[in-house]
Structure 1
Amino acid sequence: MNILAIDTANNFLSLALHKDQSTHIICEDIGNKQSEFILPKINQLLTENDTKLQDLTSISYNAGPGGFTGLRIGLSVAMSLAYSLKIPLYPVNMFAMYHNALNTETNSIIALDAKLGQIYLAGFDNNGDYLIEPQLINPEQLSSVLSKHNLINDDDTIITGNGWTAYTEIFNQDISSQNIQYIESNYPSAATMINLVLSGKSQPCAAHEAELLYLRNKVALNLEEQKQSKQ
């Protein structure tokens, strides 16, 4: 399989190409200029590895959660390429990327900063299957969610993600004594998307079926609610 992976969920443009059992990566901090650089960088990655677009057999994209504009750019490019090349897409969500990058045999809780005073949350067992389905919660709800899934005082559970560092004070009050270990992790590269496709953890879809993982459906309403709460 010749797989191109595309991640534009945040300030980094992260690309990976899997070819001949090797994975090649480009990852650059480009701020909000994904639309300007994504096609030239894809061309660079392919050219450096003697690959043509027509050689690709599938494309993987980051389905989120993440920056809305960046995700839409990545999805648009992935869909356009997949449609023109008549090849399948493999959506991979951010939670699965973090879990795969941990390379751990324990349960993992992924907490990502969702802004607006909330976090995106999901949990995995050591096989990479969901213990906690992706959801949007308030930081104060984390302890109760973990308790509901019997993950409090569990020696085989670790937590990671920038959601923890964003709301450390709240979490420390609620679960600091609950025997859950926090592990700092870097943002996972697009190579983790390749790993998830090759391991069968991502299911293919046609270009016209591609979607993003939307956990917050009413951003405008939430902003308005915040304004009202301050009046």
Structure 2
Amino acid sequence: MSWILAVETSTEWCSVALGRIANGGALECLVRHEHTGPRSSARVLPAAGELLAEAGIALSDCAAIAFGAGPGSFTGLRTACGVAQGLAFGAGLPVVPVNSLMACAERVRLGGEGIPALPPGVSVLVALDARMDEAYAGAFRWDAAAGEWQAATAMQVCAPEAVSQPSAPFWLAGNAAAVFGERLKATALALHSVPDALPAAPALVSIALRALARNETVAPEDAMPIYLRDKVAQTIAERQAVAEQRASLAAAGERP
């Protein structure tokens, strides 16, 4: 199976992976996964170069470029999309946009690193801190017959109290539970929580390989991020209101 280069910068992590299906059917990935904060744009291309050199291949030897399309940080999504487009244009490769929330669900499905096997029929609700006192959320159900994720709820960006939960039993993935505590009602209802399941490039590779097998790619010029939020910054008054709410909750002994 050909290699896929994947870039994910929708959070404060710069995650780049070069992966393929190895002999025996296992996913094989070379990875750079680093907490870069706002400096992902400066690190992503060097990381990709390191992985290509480590594998001993050229970019043109890859079958496609995958990127984390969001939802997520506005700047991070533009970085990942722009890098994927530039690399794909230069190497004459197709692009695979990957839903960043689905990548979190895929991280749970792949397991390892202390994550138990996802039970059959159990959905994964992903909730990520979206800043501005909101969460990005969406639930997914693994369809074993189709070998792919199906949406169990619509994607949304909303206050943590308003996050929709799937009707079936579910696991909770993502950092929103740690950020919002009891305000995220799904925390108390989930069968199991995986707070460290953030969007990461190896999960993008896994999803993109399946998409590539189904010829679900786009031309570089057609690659677009997934924006759930039109507004990307709070006013001073809105930031002050959020700060006062958190201070009030803290004074009352509740987790903000």
1:211 is aligned to: 224
Once the two structures are superposed, residues 18-63 of structure 1 have per-residue CA deviations (whole angstroms, 9 ceiling, x without a partner) of: 2462321122222322222222221111011101122122000011
Answer yes or no: is the 8 Å Cα contact 1:57–1:87 preserved in 2: yes
1:194 is aligned to: 205
1:4 is aligned to: 5
2:25 is aligned to: none
2:17 is aligned to: 16
* Aligned partner of 1:139 among 160, 163, 168: 160
1:16 shift after superposition: 0.9
Could you tell me which amino acid in structure 1 is paired with residue 134 of structure 2? Answer: Q
Answer yes or no: is the 8 Å Cα contact 1:102–1:185 preserved in 2: no
After TM superposition, the structure 1 stretch with the greater mean CA deviation from structure 2, 161-170 or 45-54, is: 161-170
1:229 shift after superposition: 6.8
* Aligned partner of 2:132 among 116, 122, 127: 116
1:76 shift after superposition: 0.9
1:182 shift after superposition: 4.0
2:37 is aligned to: 31
Distance in 2 between the 1:49 and 1:176 partners? 41
Answer yes or no: is the 8 Å Cα contact 2:177–2:195 preserved in 1: no
Q: What is the root-mean-square deviation in Å for CA atoms of aligned residues?
A: 2.4
Listed as ranges, the matches of 1:6-85 within 5 Å are: 6-19=7-20, 21=22, 22-85=28-91
Distance in 2 between the 1:116 and 1:27 partners? 25
Tell me the secondary structure at the aligned position of residue 66 of structure 1.
Answer: coil
1:227 shift after superposition: 6.5
Distance in 2 between the 1:214 and 1:188 partners? 16
Distance in 1 between the 2:33 and 2:53 partners? 16
Q: Does 1:226 align with 2:238?
A: yes
Distance in 1 between the 2:90 and 2:186 partners? 50
Once the two structures are superposed, residues 77-104 of structure 1 have per-residue CA deviations (whole angstroms, 9 ceiling, x without a partner) of: 1101111222110011111111111112
TM-score between both structures, scaled by the size of structure 2: 0.76
1:225 shift after superposition: 7.2
Which segments of structure 1 move beyond 6 Å, counting only runs of 4 or more?
Answer: 227-230
Answer yes or no: is the 8 Å Cα contact 1:5–1:194 preserved in 2: yes
Once the two structures are superposed, residues 95-126 of structure 1 have per-residue CA deviations (whole angstroms, 9 ceiling, x without a partner) of: 11111111123111111111111111101113
Listed as ranges, the matches of 1:121-200 within 5 Å are: 121-127=137-143, 128-142=149-163, 145-146=164-165, 151=167, 154=168, 156-171=169-184, 174=185, 179-186=189-196, 187-200=198-211
TM-score between both structures, scaled by the size of structure 1: 0.84
Distance in 2 between the 1:182 and 1:56 partners? 37
Where do 5+ consecutive residues of structure 1 fail to align? Answer: none
Where do 5+ consecutive residues of structure 2 fail to align? Answer: 23-27, 110-117, 144-148, 243-256
